[in-house]
Amino acid sequence: MIAGRAAKPAESRLRAGLPAPRRAVLALILLGAALTAQTIPYQRPVDEAPQEKTIGGGYRTPAVQKTLPRSSWLQVLDVVVLAAAMGVSSWLVLKRRNRRALVALAAGSVAYFGFYREGCVCPIGSIQNVAVALTDPRASIPIVVIATFFLPLVMAVFFGRAFCGGVCALGALQELVLVKPLQVPRRLDRALGWLKYVYLALALVFVLRPAATRDFVICRFDPFVGFFRRTGAPHMLLIGGAFLAAGMFIGRPYCRYLCPYGGLLAWCARLAPRGVTITPDKELDCGLCTGACPYGAIEKMRAVRRNCLYCARCYAACPRDGELAHARAQLVKLS
């Protein structure tokens, strides 16, 4: 506006002495100036700011404080740690059959993916990003998120739910608090197991809405991320606490009944050629492992790939575990 007012007298002064075409050009320029002046009502020019030579005294302008985003090689490191942890998890469970080492791995995962990375990015939440990126042409997705989503699924196709065992921070945390496992009645367990598919469908419904109304339900109602961040909405901390309290007796309630990614992993794990093997020979049918499995994943003396969460409790309960771990006994392929 100020620029516009200043321009008017100049225009009238110039108009008298100029030929018509030049006048038209000038009018156009002035019109342009007036238009821009209207969109920017007032601006104090930044070059009014005193600079080094105005200030004098050998003053040097300090750099602007900056915190850069996590460097890309550290993000790649997250993916490498994820892949390596899944490799270690399957090696410990399938080859070494060692629960103690698996608990150590779980503690490490809680520390790294949980407390250090503060629960982000996790494959469970990445379902939403992948769904959005697949359907919304304008949505962008980082490569790290793509890897985080697909790696555990590919792993599950070959080795079962190695991710769930000691790698997933949410799972590992629940694994660590499960001190006195109770068996959930099989029917109830099956019925509740469907909840995770309902939750998955709901999450997709909420996230596949137009960008303005999109809601990331899985992240919003993540029960444990508040602990990892040591802050959060009181009701979510309360729900997380309730999950952990229940998880002391009921094996991994979130993983078995709510985790939508667990649902995807279960479908992939059905196809796995490798997995936890119990009942190494026909004459030893003691069933101690069935009683030791807190997740109802051992049916008719066989570990069910889609439900097995790679906790290795069955080995710990097995009287012949030591022999198997050191390959003194031969496993017989049964299923």
Partner 1 sequence: MSDRFSRRDLLHTAARGTVLATLGGGAGFLVKKAHGQVVWQVDSARCLNSRLGEVGVAACNLCTTECVVALSAVRAVNDHARCGRCNICPAYFNITSAVDERGLPSEKLCPRDAITRRPIGKADPEDPANNFYEYLIDEEKCDGCGKCVMQCKEPLGLGSIVLRIRYDRCVDCNRCSISRACPKDAFVRVPAGQALP
194 binds partner 1 (CB under 8 A): no
Q: Would you say 88 or 121 has its CB closer to partner 1?
A: 121
Q: Would you say 129 or 174 has its CB closer to partner 1?
A: 129
Identify whether the C-beta of residue 169 lies closer than 8 Å to the C-beta of residue 122: yes
Q: Which of 216, 246, 302, 325 binds partner 1 (CB under 8 A)?
A: 216
Q: Which of 21, 62, 210, 319 binds partner 1 (CB under 8 A)?
A: 62
280 binds partner 1 (CB under 8 A): no
234 binds partner 1 (CB under 8 A): no
Q: Which of 12, 39, 67, 330 binds partner 1 (CB under 8 A)?
A: 67
Identify whether the C-beta of residue 256 lies closer than 8 Å to the C-beta of residue 192: yes
Q: Which of 13, 230, 282, 300 binds partner 1 (CB under 8 A)?
A: 230
- Least separation in angstroms between residue 280's CB and partner 1 is 19
Identify whether the C-beta of residue 163 lies closer than 8 Å to the C-beta of residue 156: yes
Q: Closest Cα partner for 291 from 333, 176, 283, 299?
A: 299
20 binds partner 1 (CB under 8 A): no
Q: Would you say 8 or 274 has its CB closer to partner 1?
A: 274
Q: What residues form DSSP beta bridges with 5?
A: none
57 binds partner 1 (CB under 8 A): yes
111 binds partner 1 (CB under 8 A): no
Stretch that binds partner 1, among 28-36, 58-66, 82-90, 103-111 (CB under 8 A): 58-66
36 binds partner 1 (CB under 8 A): no
String of DSSP letters for 254-320: HHHHT-HHHHHHHHHHTT-S-------STT----HHHHH-TTS-EETTEE-TTT-----HHHHH-TT
- Least separation in angstroms between residue 295's CB and partner 1 is 23
Give CA angle at 222 (218, 227), nearest 5°: 160
4 binds partner 1 (CB under 8 A): no
133 binds partner 1 (CB under 8 A): yes
Binding mask 153-182 for partner 1 (x = CB under 8 A): xx--x-------------------------
Whole-Å CA distances, 258 to 71, 160, 317: 33, 19, 27
75 binds partner 1 (CB under 8 A): yes
CA distance 253 to 259: 9
Q: How many CA atoms lie within 13 A of 67 on its CB side?
A: 1
Identify whether the C-beta of residue 244 lies closer than 8 Å to the C-beta of residue 233: no
CA distance 181 to 183: 7
Length of the chain: 335
Q: Closest Cα partner for 311 from 108, 205, 167?
A: 167
Binding residues for partner 1 (CB under 8 A)? 42-44, 46, 48-51, 54-57, 59, 61-62, 64-70, 72, 75, 118-121, 125, 128-130, 133-134, 137, 140-144, 146, 150, 153-154, 157, 215-216, 219-220, 229-232, 268, 271, 273
